Amino acid sequence: MLVTVDPYYNTQFYNECKEALKNNGVDFKEYINIKSPYNWYFEIDKAPVMVNYDKATDSESRWMVNTVKPLRENEAYLLLRRENDSGAKALLKFVENEPLKRARQSQYAVFFTVKNKEELITLTKDYPGRVWYMGKYYSNKFRVCLALHPTVENFLNPDQILLKNTGQFSEPGRFESELNWKVFRGNDRLIKFTETPYFEDGKFKKVKIQGEYSSRFII
């Protein structure tokens, strides 16, 4: 279930809850709702006790996106939620990593899927730009990639294109949330790190990702 303590407690208490979940060995995931009031949510198996909380409605769940996950210890400190990290401005810091920020600022961006690594190596030998590999989703049905130049469509079949943004998804997190909802059908959510693997000039730039999500980024 998805629960938020934001309406009842301050950010320090939120961080204490997060540390308590870790210390007690409780599996959880962390999301932000990209719609006002931009509450933060924990996804946990059981309802919390001894704290006040609100459970997310279906309409609120629609707008949940993952927080950016650190790959290094110093990044974990930088991504620690603080008292002034509230409202819409927090989305820029905690929702967008580099490729998603560039996608929002670009006049064109597209999420698409490929079959394998070799396809991306071949594609990027001629494609004039970088292609980020965002991982496997929806029970490995989609190997999701992100590109920012419309000529990428010359290298793709129409059924490989998952979602395009030509300016209609201008809010931070909106392009991502549309992918989660319209393509993954709410059964999965895009995972983001402070650094993202990418293909460029026919070469693959690997990123060392460890933990529960590592298998998703093996292509």
CB 110 within 8 A of CB 152: yes
Lookup: tokens for 92: 């820029």
What pLDDT score does 162 carry? 98
Q: What is the mean pLDDT of the chain?
A: 94
pLDDT in tens, 122-144: 999 999 999 999 999 999 999 99
Lookup: tokens for 61: 């769940």
Compute CA distances 91 → 39, 120, 184, 217, whole Å: 11, 30, 22, 24
Report phi then psi at 209, rounded to 5.
-115, 125
pLDDT in tens, 7-51: 999 999 999 999 999 999 999 999 999 999 999 999 999 888 889
Lookup: tokens for 124: 């990027």
Q: Inform me whether the pLDDT recorded for 73 exceeds 90.
A: no
Q: Inform me whether the pLDDT recorded for 202 exceeds 90.
A: yes
pTM tops 0.85, yes or no: yes
